[in-house]
Every structure is written in C-alpha cells, then in structure tokens.
Amino acid sequence: MTTYISSNLGYPRIGEDREWKKALESYWKSEITADELKLQTKKLRLASLKKQQELNIDLIPVGDFSFYDHVLDTAFSFGIIPKRFQHLDEQSIDTYFAIARGNKEAVAAEMTKWFNTNYHYIVPELNDVTPRLVENRALTYYKEAKEELGIDGKPVLVGPVTLVKLSKGYDSGHLESIVDSFIPLYIQVLQELVEAGAEWIQVDEPVLGTNLSENQIALVEKVYQKITAEVPEAKIILQTYFETVQHYERVVKLPVTAIGLDFVHGDHLPAIKKWGFPKEKILAAGIINGRNVWRSDLDSKLSLIQEIQSVTDADTIIIQPSCSLLHVPVTKKTEKKVDQVILDGLSFADEKLAEIQILVKGTNEGKAAVESELNESKTARTVLAESPYRQNHQVAEELKQIGDEEVKRALPFAERIKLQQKQLNLPLLPTTTIGSLPQTSEVKGTRTKWRRGDITDQEYNKFIESETKKWIEIQEELEIDVLVHGEFERTDMVEFFGEKLNGFAVTEYGWVQSYGSRCVKPPLIVGDVSWGGPMTVKEIVFAQTLTDKPVKGMLTGPVTILNWSFVHEELPRFTIQDQIGLALEKEVLALEEAGVNIIQVDEPALREGLPLDHLKWPEYFDAATRAFRISTSSVKPSTQIHTHMCYSEFSEIFEVIDSLDADVISIETSRSHGELIDTFEVNDYDKEIGLGVYDIHSPRVPSVEEIKANIDRALRTIDVKQFWINPDCGLKTRGKEETVAALRNMIEAARQVREEVTAKVSG
C-alpha cells in the first residue's frame, strides 16, 4: 500500500506585512545594524517555519530563506565573488549586498529572470575565482530550525548543474570542468548535513526542464553518481519544476532517493506510462500550483494522484507544490477588501499548504475523510466560475471580428519613420527615460492617505499634478528630448492597469518578491478583460500642457500584464492575452485622439514568459506578436510606438522583437556589460533602438565617462541615426538626488558624443 506524506519546496521570505523588506531597507539606510537585521530576519524566518510546523507539513524546507537571492547565497557560500569586489571581506554581509546592488567603486553583478518567472536572481561570475566552501548555509539553517523549534527540516540547495548553467564568465566548452570543480564542495555540504542529522536534502535542478544536450544530461548523470558514491547515506530529493523533464527516462535512473516532478506545468504522466518509475525510488509529485493563486480543483487533484499511483510502483509518494511558494503571496487571511466571491476562490502560500494536507489525508484515509473540505472548495470555485466576472460575451465577439488575419500597421517602418521625424523634429541621439520617475516616501505616503480616505480625490489629484509639474521642470532643465510624466499616480506598472481594466481585481497584501527588496502585488485576472474607459489620458495630457517637448504616453503591454498577473484558468492564456490587447488598443487610440504623438507600450516580460521547452516557442512568439499588434497597429503612421524590455537574451528573441513592429525599442544592457550589443553584429535591425546606458537597479551614480563608453561601444555596431540614449529601466525605486545626478551625466555624455559625431561628419 502506498503511503503519502506532505512536503513544501520553499516558503515566501517577505512576511505577511513585508517585514523582511522593511528590515533590509532599514539596514541599507543605516537605521539598524547588521546584528539587528539578522535578529529581525531570524524572528521572521522562525515564524514561517513554525507556521509550516503547525500546518503539519512533514518535510519543511530550511535554507530557502535569503537576504536577497538564493542563487547569490549559493555563489557567495562557495566564495564566488566578482573580481571587482574581491578586496572586500568575503564573509561580510556588506560584500554580499555590494555584489547585488553595486557600490561607489563598482557596478553590481548582472541580474536576470529565474527561468520563466518574474523573480530575478543575481548571475554568478565564475571568471577569476576558484570555488571553495566558505560557509555551509544549509547546515546553519538546519541547526537553527532543529535547536529553536525542534524541526528536523529539509535543507534546500541549488544543484551544481543548475548553478553553473545559470552563471557567466566561462566558455560553454568548459561546462563540465567548471561543474567538476563544485562537486567536492557539494559532497562536503551533504556530508556535514548528514552528520548533523538531516534525513532529507532537497537539491534543486530546474535546469532539467530545459533542452539539455546529450553531453549535458550525461554530465548530470556523472555528477550525481559521484555525489552519491561519496555520500551514499544522503537521502536526496532531486527536485525539478516549471516544465516537463526532457530526459525523463535517464533522470529517474539517477542514483538519488527521490525524484521531484512538476505535474502542473509539466506533462509527466505519458513519460511515466512509457518508461515507468523505479520501484526503489520515492516520487515527489508537484500537485498544487506553486505559481498561481487560484484554489485547486481538489477532486481532480485526487484523481490525478490516483492515476499517478496506478502507473507507478512507488511505496511512498510525496505530495507537494509544483515549485517553491516564493512566487505567491503569504496568506489571504489579511485581505479585507477583496470581493468575497473572489476571496473564496483564492489560495495563497498558507492555503496551498492546507490544500496539500487535504490531499494527503484524502489519499491516505479516503475521500470521505475530507468530504467537507472538498465540498467547500468545489462550491467556492463554482460560484466564481458562474459569477458576472466571467460572463462578458461582448469581448469574445470583438475578438472574433479580428479573426486570424495578420494585424499590422498601415505603412511599413521605412515610410512611417519619415513622417514621425518630420512631426517630432528630434535631434541626433535623442535622449529619454523609460517611464517612471522616483516615487518618494511623500508620494507613497500621500497615495496611502488617499486610499484610506484621509484626503479627498481633489487633494490627491492636485498633489499628483504638483509632482508631475516639478519633474517636467527638472527634465526640461536637464534638456531631455522626450519627456515622461513620471507615473506618480501609479503603484506598480501592472497593478495600476489591474485597478482600471474590467475583469481584474487587486489585493491589499498580495505581495511577492521580484528582486532584492522589491516586492510587487500582481493583480488578479478574475474574468473577461475589457476597457472601461480612459486610464492614462488625463495625466499625460496634463503633462503635455507644461512643455513644448513631446511627452510619451506610457502603457504596459498585454504580454507583460498577463505574465505579471495571477491569471484565472478557465480560458486559454493566449485568449486572455488577446483580450488585454484589445482593451489596450482602445487606450492607445484614446491617447492618440488626445494629441499624444509618442506612445510607449512596455513589454519587459516578453522574454521571461518563454516556455523552457524550445519546441513551444513558436506558438508563444506568434501569440505575443499578435497581442502586441492588436494593441498598437491601429494608430496613424505618424504616431511613434515605443516598447521596452528588461533582462532579455536579445539574440534568442531577435526575430519576434522585430516582428512586433514597434518604431523604437529600449532594452536593458548595462548589467550585462554590453554583451547584448554583440547581437547586432550578426543581425540587421532597421528600426530605432535605445540600449540602456546605465543601471538603475543600483544606487550608484555612473560617471560621464562610464556612460559615454557604453554609448561609444554601441555606436561601433549600431547606426547613430537609429540610436536613442536612455537608462536601463524606470526610475521609480531611485532617490531624487541620485536620479538627477545620473541623468545629468547621461545628458552630458550624449552631448559629447553628439558633438564628436557632428564634427566627424563635418570634417
């Protein structure tokens, strides 16, 4: 008879009220000491462990906590410190934060997306370092849980192959030798954990869900043969997630105790039916969606578990989330303003763990033992499915009218750019920013007062206008060519539209970590999405009255809104994406009608949404292109469409970026130290482009010389007539003084390059 036990793969770090974020930022502002930071975060960490203990989770993860990022933690514990920081104390928390955030002397390490999620990790730099074990973090946290709470936790490690594959600073031909250098360190970590009494150890290898080559899967086999030969007593759960394992038949034969598979985002049943599952191994089945917030259909989940059990001979099956719960909010118990119909249909981290316990009990004791819980869940899901949120038939009719025809602009780029240049009359190397400007504590505090009803709508609007006016004046003084209104009325670039579009709902405390201490509150797509009226026109038009220079209209694109929201599962994702595109088209046309000549539709999430399996890319690209074009193609040829992307492996998505047919694209490159520029040496790109010339995720102010060097490097490959000069991303998280100083240096660098180019032409 099969026994079922419960497990969790990782718990949110941030706390129910973002206590983690507040502690971090207090430390960065020197308001608390390092010891106080460690004490505050320890209290939070123990509270999270205790909560899981009280929920009766059998295998509670430890070591999933981080001060910034778990990949950085892993690299730091192995002494992987970029050369520019190696003169600092290698065990100091300030060195750790310097790598993540930069300091006055050196730029931060590159930051990019964790597979296809909206979580960012710090990219380890393996050049100029020899890995060695500096600290066994997992052991520290294992002992803490055991000593403080009596929890025999499950240490969580980023696996060696995933760690190296996500790193930079080495030739791809040296992958095996680099991984080999880490194997003794992992062996030491595992030996120390076993000696300390750890029964289970979770080793995450999500890279197994990607398209590994024959040599790479052979490397995985070699790694785990070596590790288990040296530490045979270690009960390793080799954990995969986010996708179907590509070499299933070889992965399940790896010499580990358990294999963790994602049954939500991966289709593993066919593989199990074809190849079987080893009787001597334990199957850790990811049954509950760890990346979405909707209540599970527990009846169907129980049926799935029964089907899994029927095609395996495993004596023990672990029931768990599909991935770490890092990607969802902590608990819905603090939500007081969400419509009860929606709230009843939600399941955040704590509720997901409760769902896992229901499934474990239902499989061990029979459905009758959890009949009331199943009925409650089913009722909540049914009421939401039948609610007015999901009955907007007009949207479906409008999408039918678009049909399958290609959506495209009225004129090709070569013709419309001439009209745009005549209308806008911009200089060579035009300067702009990406959209948002600093949201000070005063801005955020005033918004909070308004939301609480402490000030009137009129008072709030007057404040927003005063901030907009102030920053229009600052931009004009800096002599920026294309201005932005600053987005002071907006919280998050997706949540703002979630508050305005029909079919969305927003939470009060539904925070998740994005990068560092930056937390976002993804809106809920609860039903059919439609335009309810102008969302951005008033603020943009007001800003335009303050200046003779063009002010960009600022929107978030359909792909990003979809990827950065929690999306209901009653319709195909791409259908909902088209619904968002249709709603945004109406906003774009409203801006154009109001006289806005430049409209930016940002798609920073386009790359991150790519499926891990490359075979699924064409369908994704087609859908992304279609939704973006639905949003933007109806404008006049003279209206200039911009878009912006972050952290994109540009070479991988070059064709789809071109097919979006935006007139100007801005893209992050400074944290990757200009590596994306190489793409233009092998690809022709005829539209205009701004490669971010300085990193906004770090508080340091780059010098004129540093920015000019970035511009000069780009202009060796990109035609000067195509190039725009801008920061990497929006400036919302930066302070006023550092922002003005950085922009002043950017404008000066642009002026110097402009003069040099002009002199060269005239000479």
9 within 8 A of 70, measured Cβ to Cβ = no
Element (H, E) at 340: helix 340-344
Is 668 annotated among the ligand-binding residues? yes
Phi and psi dihedrals of 439, rounded to 5?
A: -100, 95
Give the Cα separation of 529 and 578 in Å (integer).
9
DSSP state of 107: P
Which pair of structure tokens corresponds to residue 689?
Answer: 């482009």
Residue 518 known to bind ligand: yes
Structure-token pair, residue 618: 């064409």
In the DSSP assignment, the letter for residue 387 is: S
Rounded to an integer, what distance in angstroms lies between the CA atom of residue 336 and that of residue 39?
Answer: 30
Annotated binding residue at 602?
yes
Q: Annotated catalytic, 697?
A: yes
Q: Is 487 annotated as a binding residue?
A: yes
564 labeled part of a ligand binding site: yes
| Residue among 729, 714, 717 nearest 674 (CA) | 714
CB atoms < 10 A from the CB of 533, how many?
11
- Residue 20, marked binder: yes
Question: With the C-alpha atoms ordered 75, 77, 78, 83, is the resulting torsion angle positive or negative?
Answer: positive
**Torsion region of 359: left, alpha or beta (phi above 0 gives left; psi -120 to 50 gives alpha):** alpha
Q: From the centroid of its chain, how far is CA 535?
A: 25
- The pair of three-digit structure tokens given for residue 77, joined into one six-digit string: 């514990």
Active-site residue (options: 70, 265, 485, 697): 697
How far apart (Å, rounded) are the C-alpha atoms in residues 461 and 475? Answer: 21
Q: How many Cβ atoms sit within 10 Å of the Cβ of residue 261?
A: 27
The answer to whether 323 is annotated as binding is no
Q: How, if at all, do strands 512-515 and 518-520 pair?
A: antiparallel
Q: Which of 355, 348, 338, 345 is nearest to 385 (CA)?
A: 345
| Angle, vertex CA 117, rays to CA 285 and CA 14, nearest 5 | 85
The residue to which tokens 């079987």 are assigned: 276
User: How many Cα atoms occupy the beta-carbon half-sphere of 150 within 13 Å?
Assistant: 2
* Residue 436 labelled as part of a binding site: yes
SS3 16: coil
236 is an annotated ligand-binding site residue: no
The alpha carbons of the chain give a radius of gyration, in whole angstroms, of: 26
Nearest CA-CA partner of 119 in 296, 241, 287, 246:
241
Return the closest-CA partner of residue 745 out of 716, 709, 702.
Answer: 702
In angstroms, rounded to a whole number, what is the distance separating the alpha carbons of residues 559 and 604?
9
Eight-class DSSP state of 615: G
The set of residues, in sequence order, having a beta carbon less than 8 Å from that of 463 and lying 6+ positions away, is 446, 455
DSSP-assigned states of every residue in 643-689: EEE-S--GGGGHHHHHHHT-SEEEE--TTTTTGGGGGGGTS---SEE
The annotation status of 608 as a binding-site residue, yes or no, is yes
d(CA 668, CA 602): 12
| φ, ψ of residue 98 in degrees (nearest 5) | -65, -40
Q: Residue written as tokens 């600053």? A: 486
The answer to whether the annotation marks 435 as part of a ligand binding site is: yes
Q: How far is residue 176 from each of residues 79, 119, 231, measured CA to CA in Å?
A: 19, 27, 21
User: Residue 21 annotated as binding?
Assistant: yes
- Residues comprising the binding site for 5-methyltetrahydropteroyltri-L-glutamate? 18-21, 113, 118, 518-519, 564, 608
- Residues comprising the binding site for L-homocysteine? 434-436, 487, 602
- Show which residues are catalytic: 697
- Residues comprising the binding site? 18-21, 113, 118, 434-436, 487, 518-519, 564, 602, 608, 644, 646, 668, 729
- Residues comprising the binding site for Zn(2+)? 644, 646, 668, 729
- Residues comprising the binding site for L-methionine? 434-436, 487, 602
